[in-house]
Amino acid sequence: MRWYIEVMKKYAVFRGRARRTEYWMFTLFNVVISVCLGALPFMLGPAGVVLAFIAPFYAVGVLIPSIAVSVRRLHDSSNSGWLLLLAFIPLLGLIALLVLFALPSDSGDNKYGPNPGAAAPAAPGNAAPA
């Protein structure tokens, strides 16, 4: 859940990088929440008709964060965020994106920023004793 909240805090941040864990955990929670919201009206029967409008509002609400984390994930493996447009190519584009999202991170800094998985350097004066 921490990763989902972290992505939502970066609501429309398209710069920087996102690790595989951040992307896939956000995607997992997003799918689970969407399925639950979509199934809720059916489980409640006639009383759930009013709740049928929640799922579309949720989908619109997470559209921008979903695109933003996808762009940052592409940046993490030194790919342009514009490659997200591959999603408009039926089937092959989605397969290509799935492969790109699964690629490992660049080990060091790249043109999109520092490696988010690298340990933060120790602050001066707080270095561990030798």
Query: What are the residue boundaries of the structural domains of the chain, listed by start?
Result: 2-102
DSSP alpha helix (H) spans, 77-110: 92-102
Residues 54-108: tens digit of each pLDDT: 889 999 999 999 999 999 999 999 999 999 999 999 999 999 999 999 999 888 8
Q: How far apart are the first and last CA of the chain?
A: 37
Give this prediction's pTM: 0.83
The 3-state DSSP class for residue 49 equals coil
Residues 10-57: tens digit of each pLDDT: 999 999 999 999 999 999 999 999 999 989 888 888 877 878 888 899
